[in-house]
Structure 1
């Protein structure tokens, strides 16, 4: 290779190609692949990822919903980045992208996905918004878990999931920590598997190849986001 030539992305990884393949299987499984369509309202689920608010702004401009709830307080992983709370910072970002203030509701207390849904539902009802269909906007790897949570806690609403359209490589580059990203993918899949038993979400089938990839990554130490069950 000549000096200064571009090094292919896969050669820059610290993880193995097999681990990246396993992570990609899980990444793809987390995304619901829903066809986007107009909905009664949207919920932007709070997290460390400002891309949720950016995606919400784009979908609002595309006419997919008339009002969005940004939901989220703080967590140990977001307090430094969003000191005024996830929902507040999401609102500010969406305003900077042209979403009018009257199209935004802020729910600043939720500390988990269940609370995102329950508190946003109450806020929409208080605002007099009749919800038949709901666009859930989340991080790319959180679509499936947010869908399962909403189907459990708000079964009357038709749920459509959306996220920033990124490939795993692109998302890792945006976060800058491949180990952390894969830990988060693994942790979210554990919740998809375990939370139905706890009454937090509806049950969903996990394909065998995805389950085997999950088990290999857990054994390899991608486990910092696992919860005790």
Structure 2
């Protein structure tokens, strides 16, 4: 049973993780592979709205996707885009990335090899990973402008779609931890984290929502 306080703290993290960017025309849409095919759906929506002439999906597999996406996250996301009517020549695939940093670096390499000039990127992720993806991209690809996007959803609706609310809160907590620790490790640019967001994160950790934390970063409880 998830307490009222835990839900309130999760909502605070959910709101913080979203950048609030308005989609605008960019050179390419890059969809970050994951268990969530909503990323592909949102990328296709942006393509249909004329926000970019090209889609690129990036991602190999992870423990959470190995069984449901055996051909790799990017490949399954591409297949979803094709099923939704996007022409095959408008969809590129980067099938090797296993973390957000590799998503960015490997996607950049694929686009350069394809001769695509990139000045701006619509970066599509899960709703709670907008800020993490943005901060990582700004660090690793400083020459490009990035606009964050995800499927517009409330936290309760997203938890219902995943059918595992505790896992979703674990992910919110894990993403926040990385925003706190990764800048000093050189993995992403610094993002200001308001005090009330830190406090919500710490309470959730004490409540045991630690399934996605890096072991070295677990706070004392």
TM range (shorter): over 0.9
Q: Aligned partners of 1:124 and 1:208: how far apart in 2?
A: 39
Residue equivalent to 1:5: none
1:190 aligns with 2:153: no
Residue equivalent to 2:166: 179
Unaligned runs of 5+ in 1: 1-13
Question: Which residue of 59, 72, 91 maps to 2:46?
Answer: 59
Cα deviation, residue 228, structure 1:
2.8
**In structure 2, the residue corresponding to 1:195 is in which secondary structure?**
helix
Q: Aligned partners of 1:21 and 1:139: how far apart in 2?
A: 20
TM-score (norm 1): 0.93
Q: Aligned partners of 1:116 and 1:66: how far apart in 2?
A: 20
Aligned CA-pair RMSD = 0.6
Residue equivalent to 1:7: none
Residue equivalent to 1:35: 22
Question: Which residue of 205, 209, 212 maps to 1:218?
Answer: 205
CA offset digits 1:189-229 (Å, max 9, x no partner): 00111110110000100011111000000000000100134
Cα deviation, residue 69, structure 1:
1.0
Residue equivalent to 2:10: 23
1:97 aligns with 2:84: yes
1:150 aligns with 2:130: no
Cα deviation, residue 17, structure 1:
1.0
Q: Aligned partners of 1:197 and 1:69: how far apart in 2?
A: 29
**In structure 2, the residue corresponding to 1:121 is in which secondary structure?**
helix
Q: Aligned partners of 1:131 and 1:58: how far apart in 2?
A: 20
Residue equivalent to 2:153: 166
Q: Aligned partners of 2:184 and 2:67: how far apart in 1?
A: 33
Residue equivalent to 1:107: 94
Runs of 4 or more, structure 1, over 2 Å off, are none
Residue equivalent to 1:141: 128
**In structure 2, the residue corresponding to 1:155 is in which secondary structure?**
coil
**In structure 2, the residue corresponding to 1:210 is in which secondary structure?**
helix
Q: Which is higher, the Rg of structure 1 or of structure 2?
A: 1
Residue equivalent to 2:112: 125
Residue equivalent to 2:219: none
Unaligned runs of 5+ in 2: 217-221
**In structure 2, the residue corresponding to 1:134 is in which secondary structure?**
strand
TM-score (norm 2): 0.97
